[in-house]
Amino acid sequence: MRAAEALESYNEAAALLYERLAAAHKIEERKKRIAKEFSRERKRLERLKAAHEETVASESSAENFRRSADILAANFRSLKRGQSMVHLPDIYASESGRNRNIPLEPALSPQENIERYYKKYKKLKSGVKYARAHLEEICRQLERLVELISSLEQCATVEEIENFAAGAGLNIAAEKESSERSPAVKTRLPYHRFRAADGSLILVGRGPQDNDELTFRVARGRDLWLHVSGSTGAHVVLSCLREGAYTEEALLDAAHLAHFYSSLKDEPVADVDYTFRKNVSRAPGLAPGRVVLSSRRTFHLRKDHRRLERLLGGKKLFSGNQ
């Protein structure tokens, strides 16, 4: 009898150990899948960062184009059509008597050559401005990735990993069971996920109860919260790495989604309220999804069909199915 009890105890211990090892393996596998996605995103952002840094570094070339144009304009009378190179006094040189060689297009007139250099300057300068602005956003996204990677390491259970993935806007499907009799059950999230033009994550509540869960369980205090003004509709959350760290384009994208997922979706214009999530609280005694805002800003939105088609992938815009 004792031998039987010992065997049973051993079997229970072995089963428990197996369950723990299987659970640890599942946790490790899901972490690896998320880490792989983070790695791909990090490489993409680092490539963009390098490209924008190269553009910013070319700012001195833009100044050279402008100076060449200015020197040509200052010596306009000496220029002729058909010239391929001119050797002119450099009005920007620190020492007098220094000249600059400036290549020209022989087929163009003197004025057209001057305009050509000014256009090169403006184009490159505009590119530098664009790259510098986007560098800041890319750096913010890289910082957020570092935060997410650190948070991922702290997840100790499958549930924590799934909650983490949902909050990070990741679609981590459950592994397929080996038995066909036990199909994987997909977890229903309380929101739709979208990406703004700048890559920011936008979450849109699916219904009143989902709105409540999105706003008060998923969103963070620093995130931007939006809702169409004076009408029923979805709660919309624009994820922000820091309070106020969002672009105008991302705000417009989120506002269009707030308009689309509302009872005013067919109207060409609408007012959209927005504030930080920390300024939103549940309305006492009212149904889930009803809220009170301690502060807000409102802007007048005119529907942009092209923006909506980009956000929705052209799948829902005219279907009337939310």
Has residue 15 got a pLDDT over 70? no
> Exposed, middle or buried by CB within 10 Å (0-12, 13-18, 19+), for 36?
exposed
Per-residue pLDDT tens for 48-64?
888 888 888 888 888 99
Q: What integer pLDDT is reported at residue 314 of this predicted model?
A: 52
Q: What integer pLDDT is reported at residue 182 of this predicted model?
A: 37
DSSP string, 153-166: HH--SHHHHHHHHH
Which three-class secondary structure state does DSSP give residue 26? helix
Q: What's the whole-model pTM score? A: 0.45
Buried b (16+ CB within 10 A) or exposed e, 193-205: ebebebebbbbbb
Q: What integer pLDDT is reported at residue 67 of this predicted model?
A: 93
Domain ranges of the chain: 40-166, 189-312
Q: What integer pLDDT is reported at residue 191 of this predicted model?
A: 86
Q: How confident is the model at residue 139 (pLDDT cuts 50, 70, 90)?
A: confident
Please state, rounded to an integer, the average pLDDT across all residues of the chain: 81
Higher-confidence residue of 74 and 218: namely 74
Per-residue pLDDT tens for 187-239?
467 888 898 888 888 999 988 888 998 898 888 888 899 999 989 999 999 98
Q: What integer pLDDT is reported at residue 239 of this predicted model?
A: 86
Least confident of 69-73, 179-183, 200-204: 179-183
Has residue 29 got a pLDDT over 50? yes
Q: What integer pLDDT is reported at residue 178 of this predicted model?
A: 35
CB 115 within 8 A of CB 12: no
Q: How confident is the model at residue 320 (pLDDT cuts 50, 70, 90)?
A: very low
CA distance 221 to 240: 9
Q: How confident is the model at residue 167 (pLDDT cuts 50, 70, 90)?
A: low
Phi, psi for residue 275 in degrees, rounded to 5: -165, 175
Per-residue pLDDT tens for 263-314?
999 999 999 999 999 999 988 888 888 899 999 999 899 999 999 998 987 5
CA distance 86 to 70: 14
Most confident option among 28-42, 68-82, 188-202, 207-221: 68-82
How far is C-alpha 167 from the chain's CA centre? Answer: 14
Has residue 177 got a pLDDT over 70? no
